[in-house]
Amino acid sequence: MKLAFQIAWRFLMSAKKQTFIIILGISVGVSVQVFIGSLISGLQNSLVDTTIGSSSHLSVSAIDEGIISNYDDVEANILSQSDLFSVTTPVFDLPGILEKGEEKTEVLYRGLEFDSANQIYGFDEKLVEGSLPDALDEIALGIAIKEELDLNINETITMEILGQFKTLTIVGFFDLNVAQLNRSWGVGTIETLQTIYGEVGATRIESQLSEPFDAEALSLTLDDILLSDGYETKNWMVENESLLSGLQGQSISSLMIQIFVIISVVLGISSTLAITVMQKSRQIGIMKAMGIKDQDASYVFLSEGFILGIFGAIGGVLLGLGLSYAFTTFALNPDGTPVVTLFIDPGFILLSGGIALVASTIAALTPAIKSSKLTVIEVIRNA
d(CA 17, CA 10): 13
Lowest mean pLDDT among 131-135, 278-282, 293-297, 327-331: 278-282
* pLDDT over 80 (residue 156): yes
d(CA 295, CA 312): 25
d(CA 60, CA 78): 9
* CA–centroid distance for 318 within its chain: 22
Nearest CA among 131, 77, 109 for reference residue 190: 109
Q: Same domain for 190 and 72?
A: yes
Which residues are bridge partners to 187 per DSSP?
Answer: 110, 140
Which of 229, 260, 289 finishes a domain? Answer: 229
Q: Same domain for 211 and 250?
A: no
- Percent of the chain scoring above 90 in pLDDT: 35
- 282 pLDDT band (50/70/90 cuts)? low
- Determine the average pLDDT of the residues in 317-340: 78
* pLDDT over 80 (residue 238): yes
Q: Same domain for 80 and 216?
A: yes
DSSP per-residue codes, 41-62? HHHHHHHHHHHHTTS-SEEEEE
- 88 pLDDT band (50/70/90 cuts)? very high
Q: Same domain for 366 and 249?
A: yes
Cβ proximity of 143 and 175 under 8 Å: yes
Residue 254 lies in a domain: yes
Q: Same domain for 87 and 41?
A: no
Which residues span the domain enclosing 203?
65-229
Residue 11 lies in a domain: yes
Residue 297 lies in a domain: yes
* pLDDT over 80 (residue 98): yes
* pLDDT over 70 (residue 281): no
Q: Same domain for 106 and 142?
A: yes
The pLDDT of residue 143? 94
Residue 368 lies in a domain: yes
Mean pLDDT estimate for the chain:
83
Q: Same domain for 304 and 179?
A: no
* pLDDT over 70 (residue 290): no
| Helix (H) or strand (E) run with residue 61 in it | strand 58-62
d(CA 146, CA 140): 10
Q: Same domain for 197 and 301?
A: no
Residue 182 lies in a domain: yes
Q: Same domain for 72 and 214?
A: yes
d(CA 225, CA 178): 34
Q: Same domain for 83 and 202?
A: yes
Q: Same domain for 44 and 97?
A: no
Q: 1 vs 358, which has greater pLDDT?
A: 358
- Determine the average pLDDT of the residues in 147-161: 92
Q: Same domain for 165 and 259?
A: no
Domain count, the chain: 2
- Percent of the chain scoring above 70 in pLDDT: 86
- 309 pLDDT band (50/70/90 cuts)? confident
- Determine the average pLDDT of the residues in 280-297: 66
The pLDDT of residue 335? 66
CA-atom Rg of the chain in angstroms: 32
The pLDDT of residue 261? 74
Which residues are bridge partners to 36 per DSSP?
Answer: none
Nearest CA among 168, 182, 175, 181 for reference residue 129: 175
Residue 237 lies in a domain: no
Query: Within a 10 A sphere around the Cβ of 222, how many other Cβ atoms?
Result: 20
Half-sphere exposure of 291 (CA within 13 A, CB side): 1
Lowest mean pLDDT among 94-98, 150-154, 249-253: 249-253
* CA–centroid distance for 60 within its chain: 26
The pLDDT of residue 382? 52
d(CA 272, CA 360): 11
Residue 312 lies in a domain: yes
Tell me 173's DSSP state: E
The pLDDT of residue 173? 96
Model pLDDT for residues 157-196, shown as the tens digit of each residue: 999 998 889 999 999 999 988 888 899 999 999 999 999 9
The pLDDT of residue 193? 94
